Structure 1
């Protein structure tokens, strides 16, 4: 899925409250500055009605997938045409949100005059088609479009989460290598597409860049904090350049959350990884050699049980 699952995030983030971490948390976020107010139950009818004239983007500031759509709004100058609404994904998330506003159980989700558009990459494309179809956001030439498609198809964020959540020293290097291999593959796509850059298609930022930026914004500081590892080292010059330039863009500043907030929120992913750490004995029995011994031990146990039952 290219979205944050509300059910899993509810347990992952536990009691973490983004609102309590933001400036002026006691006051509603204003629509004018696009920080987004919290969605209310009273919004349901006007958002989902077939007669609705509203266009709304429902997201969450912690979720990198939702951030993709939020940045896209600003990059394509559609922020004044779409109301951004923040949805809680912690324990305070109301049941009515999943029941009526996000039946897929994910964010981001967009509603356009009563019609639902889920999934981050789908929402990004929808914003492009509706508000800026001639912007070149997905490339201007057939080749450029193919590079964006390739980038979106090859981007696999699984190794990021896998490395972050790992607490098993025996798997640290393999998880790190999986992350590095993924980033090296993306680096190669950037080099082939535009050797100079700074973006995937050269001087102009595209959907391929926006799909990646929210993950850098979160996991560069988070992984460095918990694993003392720099995701973007000297071996990834194109990605490093893209990230450096992307951070300076107005759209990034308009949608940014401070690194410390991400460190605290995703620390719960890191702590959750501790529950999955195997003991040395468990690691042995899950290895090829241990699996064979496990079969022998299991067979011996069955044989002993059979003999004891015969004696009884």
Structure 2
């Protein structure tokens, strides 16, 4: 049974799983996308993550159509930063792009507001005041309810929080970092910072781009999928360590009789500072494996075995002997 949590200090209640729509209009056609949306709703999920750059707006258009009869019952996000055209100002976190980007997203989503608008990446070319003032105006207009950031370092989040406070701008309420069994860097500073600041945390890539699904348990050389076919994913998860994680993790799941994807999602859900992992899929059957995570109880012995495969990182001070 899906449970609901407060999204940071926003007061908004969201399901403990969030569905990510990155596959809409790409790896999943419209029919399959709608089927996955309905499967999520039947399971109790009310939280859907999107971005303008997902298929250059197609994912937003699909999501907007699917939620049209129940907009007030769902919590949706979108993002701005990435290039949506060839013009020099159609990218980044400058005020012009933020304004035009959000207006375009609202049209595609067929809604008057988004619950959370994420700044998709940090933009070192723009002053924090410029970015936050632009978002603050959108919040004042009711077009954005809460602000989030994705792919920001902890110090960048703290900078934004500081600038928001001294200028009385709408603050960051949610962060969206990468986090999974093989990629645990968020444990060092981002998750402790989120707990201290009272931020909501929705993490992406719980399956490691497919690494933690069993597909690569026999290595990359004879496998197919994003990790070997997509240059960005190959760079992110390439190398001996990740191949070893894939193999040993699948062996562990086989020993315990647990589906790889189910355990990977449940592991992220179990972290006390995570509000909701973002699950995604190209097919409904794969989605169902992730949905089963809500009913999986993780034994201490199993958690220790996972730590042995992919050890937790040292603390930010690197003085692990004092922990």
Taking structure 1 as the reference length, the TM-score comes to 0.27
The structure where strand makes up a greater share of residues is: 2
- The structure with the largest alpha-carbon Rg is 1
The structure where helix makes up a greater share of residues is: 1
Taking structure 2 as the reference length, the TM-score comes to 0.26
